Amino acid sequence: MNAPPKGPPHTHPRPSATFDAYTLSEIRRAAVTGVYDIRGGGAKRALPHFDDLLFLGASMSRYPLEGYRERCNTAVVLGDRFAEKPIELKIPITIAGMSFGSLSAQAKEALGRGASAMGTSTTTGDGGMTPEERGHSSLLVYQYLPSRYGMNPDDLRRADAIEIVVGQGAKPGGGGMLLGQKITERVAEMRDLPEGIDQRSACRHPDWTGPDDLEIKIQELREITQHKVPIYIKIGASRPYFDTALSIKAGADVVVLDGMQGGTAATQEVFIEQVGIPTLAAIRPAVQALIDADMHRKVQLVVSGGIRNGADVAKCLALGADAVSIGSAALVALGDNDPRWEADYQALGTTAGCYDDWQAGQDPAGITTQDPVLAARLDPVAAGKRLANYLAVMTLECQTIARANGKSDLRNLEPEDLVALTVEAAAMAKVPLAGTDWIPGQNGY
């Protein structure tokens, strides 16, 4: 037994809440490297989120549907405002844009397989469309990004929809980034870049500068695709009311709204954590813009950013979205951050569940890499099946909640079905604090 320390008693060591362990480690890292921290994924900080909302369910005043027998529609049509061939989804959960380059070819194939098995769409990313991706995706949305890497009109015509990316939730106002480790020969060739350089994409489109120009750009895209496919506009959640209103004005068929929990392949940590607003805070203003323009359900709203399960999907739909999009969760379903690779994660100085150096190209799970040895770890057939299973579970969960609230269609869920657990969530979602009729900011309170 150790002898007690001499002198007066010491207080217990007390870590600073301001200078916590992570902050201290970041200061040390910055002091040594002189470069900002880059990582993948979305905001990791605690934010008001869908867990802060609850469904009320049915009771005396509401009539539930039979949970296992009565039909509850999950299908949704996207893009029927102007397009001749709108997207018909069997489930309201799509796969968000992720590039070949940031992801391995195997991962892109698995996303296509999983989405196609469930009758939903997947999306390209910065760097263009690969034949494997097109081949394994029954519904493929083609992202039209500021960099226009790999952009060609043949692929544009091969797509089932076009998504003009104005911004993304992880970095509204920022461009793409792909570091040299992942600019392999094939990626470089697709993007017309020298092999191995650090690619830092433009944040603004090169040939339009505002909604008036964008309206004309959309006209051009429709002329080139002969008005067949829907045109989405993707916005990062920052000023969702105005951005949605301007997207409608510019002629979008669909608005994709990405909150700050939405992932990115790589960007500055400070950007991910400090710019943009949470998904929960963005939905109601966007829906209000649609309602004010008499375009709710006419221009569809797809919400993304931190959606993890069927309850999150149901809450998005109840707040007025038509569908959701998942990225980070889909990668986890494929095998991202799987504890089976714990030894490899440890060797990289991290642990399963925390690995976010997606820019480094050393992903033990073979997903965010262009290393052929690592990429071969991911079986695209098995991973695709896992994604399909996960999408099925999310859909079943969403239906369970919808039936419990007496809804025969997922999109019949409504704000009246929800309450909030916190004042913040009540104010953002514009639903009452549980057990009260108080919605902060409404009726003068």
Partner 1 sequence: MSNSLIEIDLDQTPLRDANRQMQDATAEAFRLLHPRGIHALAAGLTQPVQVTIAGHAGFYCAGMNQQAAVTVEGHAGVGLAENMMSGAVRVTGNASQSAGATGHGGLLVVEGDCASRCGISMKGIDIVVGGSVGHMSAFMGQAGSLAVLGDAGPDLGDSLYEARLYVRGRVDSLGADCKEKEMTAHHLDKLARLLDRAKVKADPRDFRRYGSARRLYHFQTDNLDAY
With CB under 8 A as the contact rule, the residue among 198, 397, 414, 424 that binds partner 1 is: 198
SS3 (DSSP) at 103: strand
x/- mask, partner 1, residues 126-165, rule CB under 8 A, reads ---------------------xx--xxx--x---------
Let me know the angle formed at the C-alpha of 439 by 436 and 440, rounded to the nearest 5 degrees.
125
219 binds partner 1 (CB under 8 A): yes
200 binds partner 1 (CB under 8 A): yes
C-beta of 197 vs 393, nearer to partner 1: 197
Question: Do strands 199-200 and 177-178 pair parallel, antiparallel, or not at all (unpaired)?
Answer: antiparallel
Task: Please identify, among the stretches 40-48, 117-125, 201-209, 361-369, the one whose residues bind partner 1 according to the rule CB under 8 A.
Answer: 201-209
DSSP-derived secondary structure letter, 360:
G
> Shortest gap between Cβ of 408 and partner 1 (angstroms)?
40
Residue given tokens 């692929």 in the structure block:
155
362 binds partner 1 (CB under 8 A): no
Q: How many residues bind partner 1 (CB under 8 A)?
A: 30
How far is it, in rounded angstroms, from Cα 24 to Cα 20? 6
With CB under 8 A as the contact rule, the residue among 4, 8, 15, 206 that binds partner 1 is: 206
Task: Please identify, among the stretches 32-40, 331-339, 368-376, 400-408, the one whose residues bind partner 1 according to the rule CB under 8 A.
Answer: 32-40
User: What is the per-residue DSSP string for 243-283?
Assistant: HHHHHHHHT-SEEEEE-TTS-EEEEEHHHHHHSS--HHHHH
How many alpha carbons lie under 13 Å from residue 101 in its C-beta half-sphere? 35
| Among the listed residues 342, 334, 345, 339, the one whose alpha carbon sits nearest the alpha carbon of residue 375 | 334
How many alpha carbons lie under 13 Å from residue 5 in its C-beta half-sphere? 5
With CB under 8 A as the contact rule, the residue among 226, 349, 435, 445 that binds partner 1 is: 226
27 binds partner 1 (CB under 8 A): no
207 binds partner 1 (CB under 8 A): yes
35 binds partner 1 (CB under 8 A): yes
59 binds partner 1 (CB under 8 A): no
With CB under 8 A as the contact rule, the residue among 24, 27, 75, 224 that binds partner 1 is: 224
358 binds partner 1 (CB under 8 A): no
How many alpha carbons lie under 13 Å from residue 1 in its C-beta half-sphere? 2
How far is it, in rounded angstroms, from Cα 159 to Cα 162? 7
Residues near partner 1 (CB under 8 A) = 33-35, 147-148, 151-153, 156, 180, 192-194, 197-198, 200, 202, 206-208, 213, 216-217, 219-220, 223-227
